[in-house]
């Protein structure tokens, strides 16, 4: 059967010169043979989006939607399938072949390079797309089989969209990278979406001590409802005294320097500090170390279905983290995400 793919007009939010997003309509080229055209119905806003607010960019990398058209080499999905989108990988380099796409040799080009693997773009001159292989702040975008996860059409895509980056990163760090075991102890610094996902995952893993650190009392209360066994407000003067040393792990989602130093203090001998902030790994005294983790070492096609299962069992209640906005309201959503007024903003399309 021949497979004719077509260009399609997309309605996208494009960053202008003033850290503001303007709506624009333009044509995306037809999907290449290995590409999939997806109508977006929901997209989370992640802090990485806020770091790439450059003029002409179409951001958005926690998309979810419905397949509209597929290139001739695509076998995993067909039009009408529901998909959750995640980070992009090439599928061909050694780490990809070894089933470690989070270590893809082309990770940076494919996720932050605003281009395809071959350097081309489906976007018109002056518009930068293909962000994380998605650019899902739009009602339609092109993805590949590497960054889509097919899900049951009965599942709520609005809810599943943010699994593709932030929630996968927090939960994956606990369940994949650290492989936390029953009875172990950890501290999570920062209770945004990534930190709260780590806390929910630590409870799933059976951790005995789960300490949440933040300066926002409402978020700390939520952290306790989601599984933290203790909460510490880092704004309180005497909070250092309440810290218990000898923890197995500390996960830092804040990148705040004095918290990082503190993390080293409370680790037990041989303990691990995970930096989810882009900072590099290093070795400290007494066998303690810091590591840097990408996407929670998650293979999206394996891990997202697992998270969906935990959600169905009531053990990963992500609805408690989400605030919804109409796509038209994207500027308000970005502002609220930036100011920390909401934990996880999710855009929805009618």
The token duo for 78 is 């067909």
Torsion of CA 87, 93, 95, 99, to 10 degrees: 70
What three-state secondary structure class fits 185?
A: strand
The β-bridge partners of 310 are: none
d(CA 194, CA 287): 26
Taking CB under 5 A as the binding criterion, the range among 83-91, 226-234, 290-298, 317-325 that sits at the site for Zn ion is: 83-91
Report the residue number, 90 or 142, with the smaller CB distance to Zn ion. Answer: 90
Size of the site for Zn ion (CB under 5 A): 8
Position 48 contacts Zn ion (CB under 5 A): yes
Report the residue number, 91 or 305, with the smaller CB distance to Zn ion. Answer: 91
Shortest Å distance, C-beta 13 to Zn ion: 16
With DSSP H G I counted as helix, E B as strand and the rest as coil, what are the percentages for the chain, rounded to 5?
A: 35, 25, 40
Shortest Å distance, C-beta 287 to Zn ion: 32
Report the residue number, 96 or 196, with the smaller CB distance to Zn ion. Answer: 96
Report the residue number, 48 or 147, with the smaller CB distance to Zn ion. Answer: 48
Q: What is the b/e burial string over 45-70, where b = at least 16 CB atoms within 10 angstroms of the residue's CB?
A: bbbbbeeebeeebbbbbbbbbebbbb
Shortest Å distance, C-beta 45 to Zn ion: 9
Tell which one of 42, 70, 90, 343 touches Zn ion (CB under 5 A).
Answer: 90
Angle between helix axes 193-205 and 217-226 (nearest 10 degrees) is 30
Neighbours of 299 (CB within 10 A): 18
Position 58 contacts Zn ion (CB under 5 A): no
Taking CB under 5 A as the binding criterion, the range among 35-43, 88-96, 238-246, 275-283 that sits at the site for Zn ion is: 88-96
Tokens 């996880």 belong to 344
Shortest Å distance, C-beta 221 to Zn ion: 25
Q: Which of residues 8-47 bind Zn ion (CB under 5 A)?
A: 46
The token duo for 220 is 């700390």
Position 86 contacts Zn ion (CB under 5 A): no
Report the residue number, 132 or 327, with the smaller CB distance to Zn ion. Answer: 132
Position 104 contacts Zn ion (CB under 5 A): yes
Position 231 contacts Zn ion (CB under 5 A): no
Tell me the C-alpha to C-alpha distance, in Å, between residue 87 and each of 144, 176, 203, 251, 282. 10, 17, 26, 21, 26
The β-bridge partners of 141 are: 38
Report the residue number, 34 or 239, with the smaller CB distance to Zn ion. Answer: 34
The token duo for 116 is 């395809």
Shortest Å distance, C-beta 314 to Zn ion: 25
Shortest Å distance, C-beta 101 to Zn ion: 6
Q: What are phi and psi of 64, to 5 degrees?
A: -150, 145
Report the residue number, 32 or 46, with the smaller CB distance to Zn ion. Answer: 46
Q: What are phi and psi of 19, to 5 degrees?
A: 55, 35
Position 93 contacts Zn ion (CB under 5 A): yes
Q: Which of residues 157-196 bind Zn ion (CB under 5 A)?
A: 165
Shortest Å distance, C-beta 90 to Zn ion: 3
Shortest Å distance, C-beta 320 to Zn ion: 19
Position 347 contacts Zn ion (CB under 5 A): no
Interacting residue ranges for Zn ion, rule: CB under 5 A: 46, 48, 89-90, 93, 96, 104, 165
């Amino acid at each position: 059967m021949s497979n004719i793919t077509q260009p399609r007009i997309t309605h996208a939010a494009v960053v202008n010169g003033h850290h503001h997003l303007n709506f624009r309509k333009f044509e995306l080229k037809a999907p290449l043979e290995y590409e999939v055209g997806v109508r977006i119905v929901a997209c989370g806003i992640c802090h990485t989006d806020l770091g790439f607010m450059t003029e002409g960019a179409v951001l958005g990398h926690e998309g979810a939607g419905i397949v509209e058209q597929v290139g001739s080499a695509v076998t995993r999905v067909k039009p009408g399938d529901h998909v959750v989108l995640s980070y992009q990988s090439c599928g061909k380099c050694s780490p990809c072949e070894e089933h470690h796409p989070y270590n893809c040799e082309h990770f940076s080009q494919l996720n932050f390079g605003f281009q395809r693997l071959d350097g081309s773009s489906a976007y018109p001159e002056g518009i930068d797309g293909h962000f994380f292989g998605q650019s899902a702040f739009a009602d339609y975008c092109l993805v590949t089989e590497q960054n889509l996860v097919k899900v049951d059409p009965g599942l709520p895509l609005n809810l599943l969209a943010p699994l593709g980056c932030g929630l996968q990163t927090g939960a994956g760090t606990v369940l994949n990278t650290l492989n936390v075991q029953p009875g172990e102890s950890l501290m999570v610094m920062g209770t945004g979406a990534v930190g709260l996902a780590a806390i929910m995952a630590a409870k799933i893993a059976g951790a005995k001590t789960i300490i949440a650190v933040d300066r926002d009392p409402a978020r700390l209360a939520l952290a306790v409802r989601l599984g933290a066994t203790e909460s510490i407000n880092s704004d309180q003067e005497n909070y250092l005294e309440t810290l218990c040393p000898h923890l197995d792990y500390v996960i830092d989602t804040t990148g705040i320097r004095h918290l990082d130093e503190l993390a080293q203090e409370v680790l037990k001998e041989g303990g691990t500090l995970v930096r989810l902030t882009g900072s590099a790994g290093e070795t400290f005294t007494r066998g303690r170390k810091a590591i840097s983790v990408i996407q929670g070492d998650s293979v999206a096609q394996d891990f997202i279905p697992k998270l969906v299962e935990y959600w169905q069992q009531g053990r990963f209640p992500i609805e408690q983290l989400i605030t919804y906005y109409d796509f038209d309201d994207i500027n308000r959503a970005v502002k609220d995400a930036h100011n920390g007024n909401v934990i996880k903003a999710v855009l929805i399309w009618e």
